[in-house]
């Protein structure tokens, strides 16, 4: 495993016009009580693919860290890999937040329910930063 790998490479920002509609109630464990059943999110297939691909790479990286620990790799090398995973998770969180701000918050403003959406975002950010 290469300690300099930070998993922070960027993806092309091209967005397709095909949208994927889903209600967060369809995803067990995804809701966390923050989003009501009537709150649809619309994300492009490309956006979902980018996020899922990043998470899949993070999963692989975590398995690599587990192997390093099992093989009694030097602690500084393990810590570097943990830092890389934390950075990659932070990058995914930034992508999700950016998409939420540009898509979901904008849509809520157009639909007149911005206050409720902002409260949900604040609650999610409180949990994220604690």
pTM comes to 0.62
More confident residue, 69 or 28: 69
Rounded-to-integer distance, Cα 106 and Cα 95, Å = 16
Tens of pLDDT, residues 88-122: 999 999 999 988 888 888 888 888 888 988 898 89
More confident residue, 44 or 65: 65
Q: Crossing angle, helix 45-70 and helix 75-99, to 10 degrees? A: 170
Task: Round to the nearest angstrom and report the end-to-end CA distance of the chain.
Answer: 30
Lowest mean pLDDT among 8-22, 39-53, 64-78, 110-124: 8-22
């Amino acid at each position: 495993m290469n300690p300099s790998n930070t998993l922070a490479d960027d993806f092309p920002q091209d967005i397709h016009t095909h949208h994927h509609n889903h209600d967060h109630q369809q995803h067990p464990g995804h809701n966390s009580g923050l989003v009501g059943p009537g709150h649809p999110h619309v994300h492009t297939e490309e956006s979902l693919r980018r996020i899922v691909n990043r998470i899949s790479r993070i999963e692989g990286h975590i398995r690599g860290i587990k192997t390093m620990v099992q093989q009694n790799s030097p602690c500084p090398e393990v810590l570097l890999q943990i830092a890389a995973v934390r950075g990659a998770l932070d990058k995914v969180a930034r992508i999700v937040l950016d998409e939420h701000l540009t898509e979901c918050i904008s849509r809520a403003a157009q639909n007149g329910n911005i206050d409720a959406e902002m409260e949900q975002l604040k609650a999610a950010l409180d949990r994220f930063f604690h």
